[in-house]
Amino acid sequence: MIKSKFVWDTKFTDNQIPDEVSTSLNLTPIVKKVLESKHITDADSINALFKSKDIDHAPTLMSDMDKAVERINEAIESDEKILVYGDYDADGVTSTTIMVKTLSSLGAEVGYYIPNRFTEGYGPNKDAFMQAYEEGVNLIITVDNGIQGHDEIDMIQELGVDVIVTDHHEIGETLPNAFAIVHPMHESFNYPFKYLCGAGVAYKVAQALIDHPPQSFLALAAIGTIADLVSLTDENRAIVQKGLEVLNQHCPVAIEALLNQANYKDDINEETIGFIIGPRLNAVGRLDDASLALELLMTEDIEEASFLAEQVDAYNVERKDVVQSIYDEASVIAEEKVQSGRKFILLAQEGWHEGVLGIVASRIVEMYNLPTLILNIDIDQNHAKGSARSIEQVSMFDCLSENQSLISKFGGHHMAAGMTLPIENIDELEAALDAYVQKLSQQYDLSPKKTVDIELEESDITVENIQDIERLRPFGTDFNAPLIRINNIRIRDSKAIGQEKRHLKLTLGERSIQALFWNQGQLSQEMMTDESLSFIGKLQANEWNGNKNPQVILEDLKSDHIQVLDYRSKNKVNQLKQIEDELAFFINDSEDKFGDNYYYYGEAIDKQYDKCVFRDLPNTLDDFKATLKLNNVSQIYLILKHHQSIYFDGMPHMSSFKNCYKAIYAKKRVNLEDQGMMLCEYLRIKPNELKFILKVFLELQFIKEENGIIEIVPLNEKKDIQSSKIYQKREQRIMVEKHLLYQDFDSLKKWILNELA
């Protein structure tokens, strides 16, 4: 049995697409299933999805757009200095690029400013605003920030500098006193779609200022939309679809240089943005000043783009190394916290890079499915600063709000937050957050969940069906790629692949479907040919040498029956990684134990375990049967180590016993050192057989031995050779080897499962 890491939530919708709608829209069965899983079942909604590229809401519907456009045009006509104030993430630098290029194309005298994550933090900054004022800036336009900059905006506007806020983040109880606020969520206006990203809002401003914005703006807006994980529905979907077309047909030189640096040559899709472009643009601001990423996006020169892309890529490599280094340290501490019973993981240490703590927190959450806060301790500043990530069942915003008195500053939402707090409050905050989640765990199930969209049969996994599903792309937040479930499919082959054998590759079913499970290479030792398993995952077409084949990227798997795993041969044992799982117990022979989870055959098992490892061969089959029934385990590993095998030597024939006795009787005395080999040749037996026969004779007192001299002992009573304990022990050992070592595995497994039943 392999237990799933997640609860598979299979709450399928009862709503069905009417047959007439399905027929009129030529929906294939697989597309019909996917749409139904997403509750898109009426003709209008389906049509809107397929024609979402046509969605382009009028920019003038957005709050204060007319007022902002009028002020911008006035500034351009009056040769006023304009500053675009951006942000240091991918959405921030793409929105800054769109705004600056828009204003430049209109002849504006425009500059830009990206705050430093570490020295200035997110959003409006008084010092930066004052610097702009001193340099003669008359108009500041914020992009991807500003909606929470009340004090800073009040200060600069009192000095006569107008501020236009363009933002998409949550609006607080009050609005800043800016000249204009361009925001899709503004309650006083009725913009049709509320969930644009910063680059999306900047693009709408560009539309309001320019009749036909450059296509490259769509590419930038698509990057910001994907990288910022906003809802991929309605207008965002249209922006991404059109932006991907631009990226594939007329890729901006900056993005092309970035992809070349990453050695990426395939078609560009939303995954390309999510896993290659976005992380590289984000990496700069995570480690240093993000202006380098902005410079790359601003350039139109191929050589300069290549030079800047190389530097951006170097930051990404460094970011990965920094993340791995911190994660290696953090995961050790996290394991200790989990073992101690913590339900909220708080990790704090000096010297951890603040820019990547959110990534590390996400990886810790992924490992333990517990809300996690990771802090860097800054002794000089006397504070700790970091990032938190949560699970679906726990609101990070709520649990931090309850303990706000311990925190100097924090901001965030249900799944993530950032904060600063005094060093001396760390322990108290850890205890309070853990108590909060402990209490919550008594009321709600905090087990990790995966929502399954559709159940399929093996026959459904075809290239044609995968291509039909891909016609629904792009996938992303609120419109995820469908998570499929397949039940009871046979394992044909399994192996660990990749660097350090980190990943699992399976060949499944009668159609030999290829499946990959990232970072789960250790599971290869639990996979046995012809066993069956169930899995959840996402489909993709794998193209190799011009041929396309279906492939599954697994997200979880399980097997509902007890697994019997065969590691009896030396080759297989060498492939078996050391089992240190606390849920495993080991059965050994009379040798010394290696830990509390080692037991002898027949010994009572005093704890509940999940895995049983038969490390050593038992003396009898009864010992093996008794131990089988001592624990309700899901996996049984058969290693069955032994010093030597006697199965193929067998038991000496009864005539060999008789002839040996007669030979000794005839000679009266036998010197084993001088006459042992002669006796073997006479009896036509091997030396080990002779030793065994003589041991039986000694036990039954047929002979006596002193200093290597064997003599017959007169018999007082008749004794059966088979009554010898030594004889019986060898007989049992041969039976044990026959059943446990040399029986074919299918028959052995069937016998074990029958014994358990």
Q: Within 10 Å of residue 480's Cβ, how many Cβ atoms?
A: 13
**Amino acid letter for position 203:** Y
pLDDT tens track for 164-205: 999 999 888 899 999 999 999 998 899 999 999 999 999 999
> 60 pLDDT exceeds 90?
yes
Q: Within 10 Å of residue 29's Cβ, how many Cβ atoms?
A: 11
Asked whether the beta carbons of 176 and 157 are under 8 A apart, the reply is no
Which tokens hold the place of 77? 């006509």
Helix, strand or coil, per DSSP, at residue 553 = strand
> 401 pLDDT exceeds 70?
yes
Which tokens hold the place of 47? 């049509």
Q: How high is the pLDDT of residue 115?
A: 95
Question: Packing angle between helix 725-736 and helix 621-628, nearest 10 degrees?
Answer: 60
DSSP characters over 431-446 = HHHHHHHHHHHHHS--
Distances (CA, A) of 307 to 101, 285, 301, 303, 304: 21, 18, 10, 6, 5
Q: How high is the pLDDT of residue 633?
A: 84
Dihedral of alpha carbons 199, 204, 43, 241, sign:
negative
Helix, strand or coil, per DSSP, at residue 223 = helix
Asked whether the beta carbons of 120 and 88 are under 8 A apart, the reply is no
Which tokens hold the place of 725? 């304990």
- Taking alpha carbons only, the member of 583, 596, 578, 599 closest to residue 632 is 583
> 455 pLDDT exceeds 70?
yes
Which tokens hold the place of 130? 């004052």
- Taking alpha carbons only, the member of 144, 134, 186, 195 closest to residue 165 is 144
Instruction: Return the minimum-mean-pLDDT range out of 223-227, 332-336, 659-663, 665-669.
Output: 665-669
- Give me the CATH code for the 344-438 domain, please: 3.10.310.30
> 163 pLDDT exceeds 90?
yes
Going by C-beta distance under 8 Å and a sequence separation of 6 or more, which residues neighbour residue 372? 334, 344, 345, 346, 347, 361, 364, 365, 388, 389, 390
**Location of structure tokens 């209109």:** 106
- Taking alpha carbons only, the member of 583, 692, 594 closest to residue 641 is 594
**Amino acid letter for position 561:** H
Residue-averaged pLDDT of the chain: 92
Q: Within 10 Å of residue 713's Cβ, how many Cβ atoms?
A: 12
- Taking alpha carbons only, the member of 556, 600, 603, 598 closest to residue 579 is 598
- Taking alpha carbons only, the member of 483, 101, 471 closest to residue 295 is 101
Q: What are phi and psi of 534, to 5 degrees?
A: -115, 150
Q: How high is the pLDDT of residue 522?
A: 82
Q: How high is the pLDDT of residue 126?
A: 96
- The DSSP code for 580 is -
> 13 pLDDT exceeds 70?
no
> 54 pLDDT exceeds 90?
yes
Angle among Cα 227, 233, 238 to the nearest 5 degrees reads: 80
d(CA 90, CA 199): 9
136 dihedral zone (left: phi>0; alpha: psi -120 to 50; beta): left
H or E segment and range at residue 532: strand 532-544
Asked whether the beta carbons of 15 and 41 are under 8 A apart, the reply is yes
Which tokens hold the place of 169? 């983040």
Asked whether the beta carbons of 338 and 365 are under 8 A apart, the reply is no
Which tokens hold the place of 629? 């029934």
Q: How high is the pLDDT of residue 552?
A: 97
Q: How high is the pLDDT of residue 43?
A: 93
d(CA 635, CA 286): 44
- Taking alpha carbons only, the member of 720, 695, 719 closest to residue 705 is 695
The mean pLDDT of 359-369, rounded to a whole number, is 94
Q: How high is the pLDDT of residue 575?
A: 63
Question: In Å, how far from its chain's centre is CA 554?
Answer: 10
**Location of structure tokens 């040559």:** 265
For residue 687, whether the previous peptide bond is cis, meaning omega lies within 30 degrees of 0, is no
- Taking alpha carbons only, the member of 530, 122, 112 closest to residue 355 is 122
Give the length of the chain: 757
Which tokens hold the place of 120? 């200035």
Q: How high is the pLDDT of residue 658?
A: 95
- How does strand 137-143 pair with strand 81-85? parallel
pLDDT tens track for 255-284: 999 999 999 999 999 999 999 999 999 999
- Taking alpha carbons only, the member of 94, 110, 151, 147 closest to residue 127 is 151
**Which strands form 345-350's sheet, in the order they lie side by side?**
345-350, 372-378, 383-389, 416-422, 409-412
Q: How high is the pLDDT of residue 580?
A: 59
What top-level class would CATH report for the domain 7-12+451-561?
mainly beta
DSSP characters over 341-380 = T-SSEEEEEET--GGGHHHHHHHHHHHH-S-EEEEEEETT
Asked whether the beta carbons of 502 and 543 are under 8 A apart, the reply is no
- b/e code 102-117 from CB counts within 10 Å (16+ = b): bbeeeebebebbbbeb
Q: How high is the pLDDT of residue 484?
A: 96
- Give me the CATH code for the 647-723 domain, please: 1.10.10
Q: Within 10 Å of residue 643's Cβ, how many Cβ atoms?
A: 7
- Give me the CATH code for the 59-314 domain, please: 3.90.1640.30
> 53 pLDDT exceeds 70?
yes
Domain assignments of the chain as residue spans, ordered by start: 7-12+451-561, 19-47, 59-314, 344-438, 564-643+740-756, 647-723
d(CA 441, CA 343): 8
Which tokens hold the place of 118? 């570490």
Which of the residue ranges 7-11, 599-603, 662-666, 753-757 has the most confident prediction, judged by mean pLDDT?
Answer: 662-666
pLDDT tens track for 519-570: 898 888 788 788 899 999 999 998 888 789 999 999 999 988 888 888 888 7
Asked whether the beta carbons of 647 and 726 are under 8 A apart, the reply is no
pLDDT tens track for 571-604: 777 666 666 566 778 888 766 777 888 888 888 8
- Strands, E, within 148-280: which ranges? 162-166, 180-182
